[in-house]
Chains A and B, each alone.
Chain A
Amino acid sequence: MNSQLLLTAFWTIVVKEVRRFTRIWAQTLLPPAITMTLYFIIFGNLIGSRIGEMGGFNYMEYIVPGLIMMSVITNSYGNVVSSFFGTKFQHNIEELLVAPVPNWVILAGYVIGGMARGLAVGLIVTVLSLFFTNLQIHHLGVTISIVLLTSIVFALGGFINAVFANTFDDISIIPTFVLTPLTYLGGVFYSIQLLPEFWQGVSQLNPILYMVNTFRYGILGVSDINVGFAFTMILVFIAVLAGFSLHLLNIGKGIRS
């Protein structure tokens, strides 16, 4: 296929993915908006007002970047894992497998679809946060690049989860037992400076800590970690996960007998 045909095939996958999550907006876009509003009200306003400052900012300002990033992470992952598994489960992955679409285009299409939902929810949460606080962006480049790269990482993660999943239970295990704890312990609600030294060390093994803190640096200009190291780590994650995802597609894992 020439580049124009490849672009059409890629765009077709992206449009299909975007149409899917917008068609079921009550399941995909509305719940995170409600949940995050509750976080803003309860943690940011009611409890936050008693906590005082964190990292030199009031608590609401401090948690907003973390909550936006949490939304991006869970929705980028959730979109790809549910969509690709559903495609496998209903066998309509065969529509793509019989067509002359290279595996890298399939992967790119699903990843961009996941990013579209992750970023759409991130934007909704950002707009909602403006009702509770005044966001000043410290470094626009860092803010945008970290949110895009993080979204890619978790879209790829969702893809790999979907490839290995055999049942609907399998697509909820990782988000429930791995992603959610890592996100909550990744500095969304607190600075790791508050932790004893040992637990600070343990926290630094959590990759989500780096993503949340880099995003927070982009917005507030404060971070618990080295931003340069965070970008390097995320790029390595993307390279490894993308390579592994392509390998899975090439061997037909879970999709070809």
Chain B
Amino acid sequence: MTLALSIDNLRKTYGNGFEALKGISLEVKQGDFFALLGPNGAGKSTTLGIVSSLVNKSGGKVSVFGHDLDSELTRAKLCLGVVPQEFNFNPFEKVFDIVVTQAGYYGIGRKRASERAEFYLRKLGLWEKRNERARMLSGGMKRRLMIARALVHDPKMLILDEPTAGVDIELRRSMWEFLREINAAGTTIILTTHYLEEAESLCRNIAIIDHGQIIQNSTMKALLAKLNMETFVLDLDRDIDASPVLDGYGVRLVDTHTLEVDVEKSKGLNPIFAQLSALGYSVASMRNKANRLEELFVSLVDKNL
């Protein structure tokens, strides 16, 4: 299968001597939904900055859909759409003009650019705001504007650097749906996020970067399979005064009728129900506490300290 992104021994040392990337190598397959995770300052944005031509590399090779950034930069850029972490549009320009102008930079004429801008602004719920100055938009709308701008030239690969930062949960979920839709239509997506639930929900493959090095690179499924412990949230049928003792399980009282129970994979859930029943409680509802990835992420990064 064609590689959407190939990074080989990529290094970056900033002018102040800080070594942000210490020779990372990474491959993202065409059509993938790929998560690049890491703590603040780990090197995620530097990596994506180099791929997007916003940061000069110190060494190594990067190619986008087989186009080397050193020898075929223009072709590589045509394949890429970039949604950066910070708002980087002119806040005094109109929403519609921002998207149409970006299309113009890709050589798309005004008429076709206007049609595409309308399509993506409608798709992202910004059409009604098309004549507003960008600074008048809410934070969530500004994020969607950057997505519309990045997609206007129909790139084969979309890079999203924390696209849902500061976006409320309802909007975040609608953006997830949109991203799933364009990924299903064939666009390769590379995502960085601090919402690990987001990466777990959307991405099929994952790399974790820390201190400028890749410390984990696998499928999401394989990574989550490493998790030995899961946490379940149990809602009881009546109030409970104190955390009950359940043999073989760690239990925490969340509120007067909610417990969190840590369950090792080997043990199963039935003994929990049995022991609670013996204490006179029934489980009214139960859910897996999300952020399984978060637990793994913290343990991997802690190990790397």
Task: Give chain A's interface residues, CB within 8 Å of chain B.
Answer: 1-2, 4-6, 8-9, 11-13, 15-16, 19, 23, 86-87, 90-92, 94-102, 251-252, 256-257
Contact of B14 with A12 in the complex, beta carbons under 8 Å? no
* Contact assessment for B106 and A9 in the assembled complex, using a CB-CB cutoff below 8 Å: yes
Partner of A97, one of B54, B86, B104: B54
Task: Report yes or no: A257 in contact with B56, Cβ–Cβ below 8 A.
Answer: yes
- Whether the pair A6, B107 counts as a contact (CB closer than 8 A) is yes
Q: Judging by beta carbons under 8 Å apart, are B55 and A257 in contact?
A: yes
Nearest Cβ on chain A to B148's Cβ, whole angstroms: 13
Contacts across chains A and B counted by CB atoms under 8 Å: 84
Give the contact stretch, choosing among B72-80, B121-129, B199-207, B267-275.
Answer: B72-80
Residue pair B107, A4 in contact (C-beta under 8 Å): yes
Distance of A194 Cα from B67 Cα, bound (Å): 64
Q: Is the CB of A100 within 8 A of B90?
A: no
A1 CA / B153 CA spacing, docked (Å): 14
Nearest chain A residue, comparing its CB with the CB of B55: A257
Nearest CB in chain B: distance from A52 CB, A: 49
**Is B108 positioned at the interface, with any CB of A under 8 Å from its CB?**
yes
10 extra interchain contacts, Cβ-Cβ under 8 A, other than A12-B105, A100-B106?
A: A4-B107, A6-B107, A9-B106, A90-B88, A90-B90, A92-B89, A94-B84, A99-B77, A251-B56, A257-B54
Tell me if A95 and B56 are in contact (CB < 8 A): no
Contact check, A95 vs B149: say whether CB atoms are below 8 A apart: yes
Using CB atoms, name the residue of chain B closest to A93: B88
Say which size band chain B's interface belongs to. Answer: 20 to 34
B23 at the interface (CB under 8 A from A): no
Q: Is B102 an interface residue (CB 8 A)?
A: yes
Give Cα A99–Cα B55 distance, bound, in whole angstroms: 14
Given contacts A97-B54, A99-B77, A257-B49, A9 and B105 within 8 Å (CB-CB): yes
Contact A9-B107, Cβ < 8 Å, known A1-B74, A94-B54: yes
Cβ-defined contact, B14 with A257, below 8 A: yes
Cα of A15 to Cα of B103 in the assembled complex, Å: 13
User: A6 CA to B56 CA in the complex, in Å?
Assistant: 24
Q: Which residues of A contact B82 (CB under 8 A)?
A: 94, 98
B53 within 8 A of A: yes
Segment 83-125 of B: residues with Cβ below 8 Å from A: 84, 86-92, 97, 101-102, 104-109
A5:B107 contact, CB within 8 angstroms = yes
Asked if A95 contacts B104 (CB within 8 A), the reply is no
Asked whether B213 is an interface residue with its Cβ less than 8 Å from the other chain, the reply is no
Rounded to whole angstroms, the CA-CA distance of A173 and B58 in the bound complex is: 34
CB-based closest 5 A-B pairs: A5-B107, A12-B104, A99-B105, A91-B88, A100-B77
Cβ of A99: which chain B residues have Cβ within 8 Å of it? Answer: 77, 102, 105-106
List 8 contacting pairs A-B, 8 Å CB cutoff, sorted by A.
A1-B74, A8-B108, A9-B105, A90-B91, A92-B89, A94-B88, A96-B105, A100-B107
Question: Would you call B104 and A8 a contact (CB within 8 A)?
Answer: yes
What are the residues of chain A within 8 A of B87 when measuring CB–CB? Answer: 91
What residue of chain A has the Cβ atom nearest to residue B90's Cβ? A92
CB closest chain-A residue, reference B20: A257
Q: How far is the CA of A112 from the CA of B54 in the complex (A)?
A: 25
Is A95 touching B105 in the complex (CB atoms < 8 A)?
yes
- Taking the closest CB of chain A, its distance from the CB of B68, in whole angstroms, is 14
The interface centre, meaning the residue of B84, B91, B106 with most chain A CB atoms within 10 A of its CB, is B106
Interchain nearest-CB distance for B79 vs A (Å): 10
Which chain B residues numbered 6 to 56 have a C-beta less than 8 Å away from chain A?
14-15, 49, 52-56
Selected from A2, A5, A256, the residue in CB contact (under 8 A) with B56 is: A256
For residue B89, which residues in chain A have a CB less than 8 angstroms away from its CB? 90, 92, 95
A11 and B106: CB pair below 8 A?
Answer: no
In the assembled complex, the Cα of A11 lies from the Cα of B88 at a distance in Å of 21
Q: Assess A91 versus B86: contact at CB under 8 Å? Given A8-B104, A256-B54.
A: yes
Q: Which residues of B contact A12 (CB under 8 A)?
A: 101, 104-105
Least CB distance from B59 to A in Å reads 15
Q: Are B54 and A100 in contact (CB under 8 A)?
A: no
Minimal beta-carbon separation of B46 from chain A (angstroms): 8
CB distance from A79 to the nearest CB of B (A): 15
| B104→A98 contact, CB < 8 A | no
Say whether A100 contacts B56, CB under 8 Å.
no
Collect the chain A residues with CB atoms within 8 Å of residue B109's CB: 8
When distances are taken between beta carbons in the complex, the residues of chain B under 8 Å from A13 are 105
Question: B104 and A9: CB pair below 8 A?
Answer: yes
Query: Assuming A4-B107, A256-B56, is B77 touching A98 (CB within 8 A)?
Result: yes
Report A144 CB to chain B, min CB distance, Å. 29
Query: Hey, which chain B residues are within 8 Å of A100, CB to CB?
Result: 73-75, 77-78, 105-107
Residue of B nearest to A109 (CB): B105
Q: Chain A residues near B80 (CB, 8 Å)?
A: 98
Q: State which of A8, A11, A256 has its C-beta within 8 Å of the C-beta of B55.
A: A256
Q: Which residues of B contact A256 (CB under 8 A)?
A: 53-56
Given contacts A9-B107, A90-B91, contact A95 B101 (CB under 8 A): yes
Q: A206 to B94: give the CA distance in the assembly, Å.
A: 43
Question: Which chain A residues lie closer than 8 Å to B52 at the CB level?
Answer: 94, 97-98
Query: Please, how many angstroms separate the alpha-carbon atoms of A235 and B91 in the complex?
Result: 38
